[in-house]
């Protein structure tokens, strides 16, 4: 046995090393209280099936921190991000949350991404009283639990479904809708909320079909069935692969003249590519407008492009904006790490992803989706907003 090299080390060395470690840790914890770095924990899936979200969170975060530190940090203190991998699973998210609150050095948590992760981690953050700045978790129940230490950037799922419906009915003037949705938590919730919203707006669902994600690639039977209802508009509640394939497969089925409205899970170049031209004229409603003609967006997009040679997703831009929000709240509004959430709820904030304000529960208020349209095989911003007339009854 050669592995027991420690046996030759005097016992006292261990104790001294331990003591030195404790002193060092205590000093660091003390230092962060006034002039040392200010720490944020970024929790997102860096591995597993939704790793693309985590990578976007990391990129958006790094980009923001670089700019913030170049501009003097937050209140003169250097900003340091520590990334935690929640693997997109509730179990790992709870473990990550415990690690974060035990560390006691973090000013706030930025995350998680997947709704199920946020729901699993929130009770732990709430008990510890740490502020949670959430970007992309859209499950409505997150802000319905009475947790007072969270705000989120994205529009919650049920209001999203209401806005998609309102856009098809109020903006486009249609009253017969067909719904094609992915048979998952996301798709079914969207479908249920959409049916309720369509009803409240006085329109009608004339057909609905679904498919098993990652298994079904043949949509011909669903296409024939949806066509039979003679809809004015197809609500494409899918991700970009299935959305693109659906439109491609539907092009010989007399779908010309039927509008297409979808969420921003379709907002990827593959959507246009896979549709083989059939996505022309489709409307996608996005939580932020990456193509908007605003200086802040253009700067963010070109910086991101330059640094990573890819398009940022909403996870990237929300992580980025949340850090700037923390800077603004602490520097300009006199918030501390503990009062970050209350302060944020009382202010208006303008970031690369647009303007934000929050209600008592921590949901963004007064924010509607950006309307993106496919024109000549490219996504373009229409600059339109969603006409929310008639949705008051549902809120």
Partner 1 sequence: MAYVIEQLINGLAVGSVYALIAVGYSMVYSILYLINFAHGDVITFGAFTALTMLVIGVPIPVALFLACVLGAALGMTVERIAYRPVRYANRIVPMISALGAGLVIASTAQAIWGPEVHAFPQVIPRWSFELFGQLIPFQPLIIIAIAVVLVAIATVLLDYTRLGRATKCVCQDIHAAQLMGIPINTIVPLVYAIGGFLGVAGAILYVTYFNAVYIQMGLLATFKAWSAAMLGGVGNFHGAFVGGLLLGIAEAFSVVVVGSAFKDGVSLVFIVLILLLKPDGLFGERTTARS
What is the binding site for partner 1 (CB under 8 A)? Answer: 183, 209-212, 214-218, 220-222, 224-225, 228, 241, 244-245, 248-249, 251-254, 270, 273-274, 276
Residue 178 Cβ, how far from partner 1 at the closest point, in Å? Answer: 12
CA distance 182 to 271: 15
Q: At a CB cut-off of 8 Å and minimum separation 6, what does 38 contact?
A: 32, 73, 74, 75, 77, 78, 79, 80, 107, 337
Are 109 and 131 within 8 A, CB to CB? yes
Give alpha helix (H) positions in the chain: 11-33, 51-70, 90-103, 115-128, 157-166, 185-200, 220-228, 240-250, 269-275, 295-308, 314-331, 340-346
DSSP of 258-288? -EEEEEGGG-SHHHHHHHTTTTTT-EEEESS
CA distance 384 to 370: 7
From the DSSP assignment, how many helices (H) and strands (E) are in the chain? 12, 14
Nearer to partner 1, 251 or 350 (CB): 251
Look at residues 10, 7, 84, 85 and name the one whose alpha carbon lies nearest to residue 40: 84
Residue 276 Cβ, how far from partner 1 at the closest point, in Å? Answer: 6
Residue 78 Cβ, how far from partner 1 at the closest point, in Å? Answer: 38
Nearer to partner 1, 175 or 273 (CB): 273
Residue 104 Cβ, how far from partner 1 at the closest point, in Å? Answer: 41
CA distance 307 to 284: 26
Residues pairing with 139 in the sheet: none
Nearer to partner 1, 251 or 381 (CB): 251
Residue 180 Cβ, how far from partner 1 at the closest point, in Å? Answer: 9
Nearer to partner 1, 116 or 270 (CB): 270
Nearer to partner 1, 176 or 208 (CB): 208
Nearer to partner 1, 193 or 209 (CB): 209
CA distance 184 to 239: 11
Residue 337 Cβ, how far from partner 1 at the closest point, in Å? Answer: 41
Residue 181 Cβ, how far from partner 1 at the closest point, in Å? Answer: 10
Nearer to partner 1, 171 or 241 (CB): 241
């Amino acid at each position: 046995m050669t592995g027991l090299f420690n046996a030759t080390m005097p016992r006292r060395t261990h104790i001294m090393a331990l003591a030195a470690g404790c002193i060092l840790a205590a000093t660091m914890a003390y230092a962060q209280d006034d002039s040392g770095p200010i720490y944020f924990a970024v929790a997102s899936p860096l591995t597993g099936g939704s790793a693309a979200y985590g990578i976007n969170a990391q990129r958006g975060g790094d980009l923001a921190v670089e700019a913030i530190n170049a501009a003097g940090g937050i209140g003169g203190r250097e900003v340091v991000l520590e990334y935690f991998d929640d693997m997109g699973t509730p179990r790992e998210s709870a473990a990550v949350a415990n690690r974060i609150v035990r560390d006691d050095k973090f000013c706030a948590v930025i995350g998680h991404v997947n709704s199920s992760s946020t729901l699993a981690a929130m009770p732990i953050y709430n008990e510890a009283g740490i502020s949670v700045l959430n970007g992309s978790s859209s499950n409505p129940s997150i802000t319905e639990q009475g947790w007072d230490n969270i705000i989120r950037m994205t529009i919650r799922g049920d209001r999203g479904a209401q806005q998609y419906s309102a856009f098809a009915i109020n903006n486009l003037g249609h009253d017969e809708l067909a719904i094609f949705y992915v048979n998952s938590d996301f798709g079914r919730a969207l479908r249920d909320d959409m049916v309720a919203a369509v009803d409240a707006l006085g329109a009608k669902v004339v057909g609905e079909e679904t498919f098993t994600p990652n298994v079904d690639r043949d949509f011909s039977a669903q296409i024939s069935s949806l066509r039979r209802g003679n809809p004015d508009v197809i609500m494409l509640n899918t991700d970009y692969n299935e959305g693109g394939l659906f439109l491609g497969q539907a092009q010989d089925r007399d779908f010309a003249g039927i509008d297409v409205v979808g969420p921003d899970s379709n907002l990827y170049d593959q959507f246009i590519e896979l549709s083989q031209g059939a996505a022309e004229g489709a409307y996608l409603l996005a939580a932020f407008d990456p193509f908007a003609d605003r200086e802040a967006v253009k700067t963010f997009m070109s910086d991101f492009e330059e640094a990573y040679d890819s398009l940022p997703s909403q996870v990237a831009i929300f992580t980025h904006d949340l850090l700037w929000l923390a800077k603004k709240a602490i520097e300009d509004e006199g918030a501390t790490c503990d009062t970050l959430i209350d302060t944020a709820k009382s202010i208006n904030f303008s970031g690369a992803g647009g303007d934000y304000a929050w209600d008592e529960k921590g949901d963004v208020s007064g924010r509607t989706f950006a309307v993106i349209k496919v024109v000549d095989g490219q996504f373009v911003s229409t600059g339109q907003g969603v006409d929310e007339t008639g949705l008051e009854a549902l809120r």
